[in-house]
Amino acid sequence: MHTHLLVASLTILFSCLPAGAAPLLTGTSEGMRYEVDKVVEGLDIPWGMTFLGDTELLFTEKNGRISILDTTSGKVKILRTSITVFDRGQGGLLDVAGEPGYKTGDWLYFTYSRPQGNKAATTLARARLSGDQLIDWSDLLVTRPAAGADHHFGSRIAFDGRGHLFFSIGDRGERENGQDLASHAGSILRLNLDGSVPDDNPFIAGGGLTEIWSYGHRNPQGLVYDLAHERLWSNEHGPRGGDEINLIQRGGNYGWPTVSHGMEYWGPVAVGEATRKEGMIDPLKVYIPSIAPGSLLLYDGAAFPRWRGNLFSGALKLRHLNRVVLDDAGTPVQEERLLGDLNERIRALAESPEGWIYCSTDSGGMYCIRPALPSIERLTR
């Protein structure tokens, strides 16, 4: 009898091993069911991700490794590189991005924390892919000043499709950098694709570093250019409370640390003079408490049509995937928190050609979010 029950148990156990496994997590958003599954684990912190083609997802790890996931086979190919990164605290190898319409052999752009003696500086570089190797690596801009702090490096990259790129950099741990136009820290920068400075940048005629496009930022770790509406979105970490989503304007001052919606870490004291001030641009959305956004994606895929035009960001502290709906004018009007059940610090996001969302986590994993099929509809003739 014991044996029979044991056999029964094993039978049940093995009959449960399906032809394809059931998804790890399912949910519904805007009436669309989705499934979440893990695709990679055992990584360092995968920080930046970008699709190179239909099935090639290039990603960085904070420790300096650069790899390609074949999303069809699930296999990861580690590329040969010879870069050295300041892999401490929030520092390391950060974002990677190719221009819209990237083809093999085109430039790939990276941001990383470049060691400068005992200090480090957020740096923009580019390189090209040749087989399983990154060649022609060159630094396009080593931002100034280098700092000893191991936090607030930024940094994300975005392209406007007209020959320019933007990249973000945090205040490098010195909040005064936010309002200092003689420092790159606490700014979003704009360059030509070869690293030169566009002659229509806002401070080209004096008054600040010529690379600066906007300033008064604390630690912008999400940056995305909406090609259809020709507008640049960023999100950033507030101090304690006061994470922001901003629509970035040329030459704009976003207020840090003069104005903020956040509190000091050490006590119930607001940071700055107020939450707003004339001449400083208000965020379009504020998160209190902080979610700690690690990325920003403007969804545009076919797989989840009712998510189109929504802003997604990975949330590190309040572990979830944050979805923000914009109205026609671009004003955030609705927020949803997805994937909380994973209990993961969600870092980078990438949209696949078919519109699935890949996200990485600080525990070294990578997940895929894709549409679920509804249950069978049974009709009669």
List the catalytic residues: 152
Interaction of residue 228 with its own copies, rule CB under 8 A:
no
Q: CB nearer to its own copies: give 77 or 250.
A: 77
Of 92-100, 124-132, 218-226, 370-378: span binding its own copies (CB under 8 A): 370-378
Q: Which residues lie below 8 Å from residue 105, measured CB to CB, with a gap of 6+?
A: 128, 129, 130
Closest CB 357 distance from its own copies, rounded Å: 13
Closest CB 97 distance from its own copies, rounded Å: 20
Say which amino acid occupies 85.
V
Neighbours of 343 (CB within 10 A): 10
Residues 279-308 that bind its own copies (CB under 8 A): 301-303, 305-306
Binding mask 47-66 vs its own copies (x if CB under 8 A, - otherwise)? ------xxx-----x-x---
Per CB under 8 A, the list member of 16, 228, 269, 329 interacting with its own copies is 16
Q: Which tokens belong to 296?
A: 């920003």
Interaction of residue 6 with its own copies, rule CB under 8 A:
yes
Of 136-144, 269-277, 316-324, 366-374: span binding its own copies (CB under 8 A): 366-374
Q: Which residues lie below 8 Å from residue 118, measured CB to CB, with a gap of 6+?
A: 148
Q: How far apart are CA 299 and CA 346, in angstroms?
A: 16
Q: CB nearer to its own copies: give 10 or 288.
A: 10
Site size with its own copies, rule: CB under 8 A = 65
Q: How far apart are CA 157 and CA 172, in angstroms?
A: 17
Residue 51 near residue 353, CB atoms below 8 Å: yes
Residues 322-361 that bind its own copies (CB under 8 A): 352-355
Question: 371-375 long-range CB contacts below 8 Å, 24 or more apart?
Answer: 371/32, 371/33, 371/34, 371/35, 371/303, 371/304, 372/23, 372/26, 372/33, 372/34, 372/35, 373/33, 374/33
Phi, psi of 43 (to 5 degrees): -85, 165
Interaction of residue 91 with its own copies, rule CB under 8 A:
no
Per CB under 8 A, the list member of 49, 108, 223, 368 interacting with its own copies is 368
Count how many residues are written for the chain. 381
Q: How far apart are CA 152 and CA 122, in angstroms?
A: 9
Q: Which residues lie below 8 Å from residue 215, measured CB to CB, with a gap of 6+?
A: 178, 179, 181, 186, 187, 188, 208, 252, 253, 254
Interaction of residue 9 with its own copies, rule CB under 8 A:
yes
Closest CB 342 distance from its own copies, rounded Å: 12
Interaction of residue 273 with its own copies, rule CB under 8 A:
no
Per CB under 8 A, the list member of 198, 289, 332, 371 interacting with its own copies is 371
Interaction of residue 72 with its own copies, rule CB under 8 A:
yes
Q: Interface with its own copies by CB under 8 A: which residues? A: 1-2, 5-6, 8-9, 12-13, 16, 18-26, 31-33, 35, 37-44, 53-55, 61, 63, 69, 71-76, 301-303, 305-306, 352-355, 364, 368, 370-381
